[in-house]
């Protein structure tokens, strides 16, 4: 099992991404509002403030967390994201990473998942 973390630069895409997950059989994900370091630095640290766009609040991202059980499921999640936002290898789209899970309790069992 792995934890997939996807940071989506444009929060307007998240609903469409979650819909795409559902269409592909991915039934569980958690979404959080996040802000990148560059945005915070540009708006909070005087030296970096000259890089901030005038009048704009720090940029918001959405971060999606999903537990994936196989590499195939991970690939399905990433493909779903890229169907909506385009190639994650392109600038200003987002990133996706996975981390191993060595312990998990509370993730409900699904029939046939024994």
Give residue for tokens 């509370």.
106
Res. 114 pLDDT band, cuts 50 70 90: very low
Residue 82 has pLDDT above 60, yes or no: yes
Q: Regarding the domain delimited by 2-100, which CATH topology (the fold level of the hierarchy) does it fall under? A: Alpha-Beta Plaits (3.30.70)
pLDDT at 35: 82
CA-wise closest residue to 58 among 49, 71, 66: 49
Q: Which of 11-15, 16-20, 24-28, 103-107 has the lowest mean pLDDT?
A: 103-107
Q: How many residues does the chain have?
A: 114
pLDDT in tens, 39-53: 666 656 565 555 545
Residue 6 has pLDDT above 70, yes or no: yes
Q: Note the pTM of the prediction, 2 decimals.
A: 0.79
């Amino acid at each position: 099992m792995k934890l997939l973390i996807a940071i989506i630069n444009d929060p307007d895409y998240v609903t469409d991404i979650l819909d795409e997950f559902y269409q592909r059989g991915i039934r569980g994900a958690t979404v959080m509002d996040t802000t990148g370091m560059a945005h915070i630095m540009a708006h909070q640290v005087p030296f970096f403030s000259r890089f901030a766009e005038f009048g704009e609040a720090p940029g918001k991202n959405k971060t999606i967390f999903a537990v994936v059980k196989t590499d195939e499921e991970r690939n399905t999640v990433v493909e779903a994201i890229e169907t909506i936002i385009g190639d994650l290898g392109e600038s200003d789209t987002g990133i996706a990473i996975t981390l191993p899970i060595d312990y998990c309790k509370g993730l409900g069992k699904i029939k046939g998942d024994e």
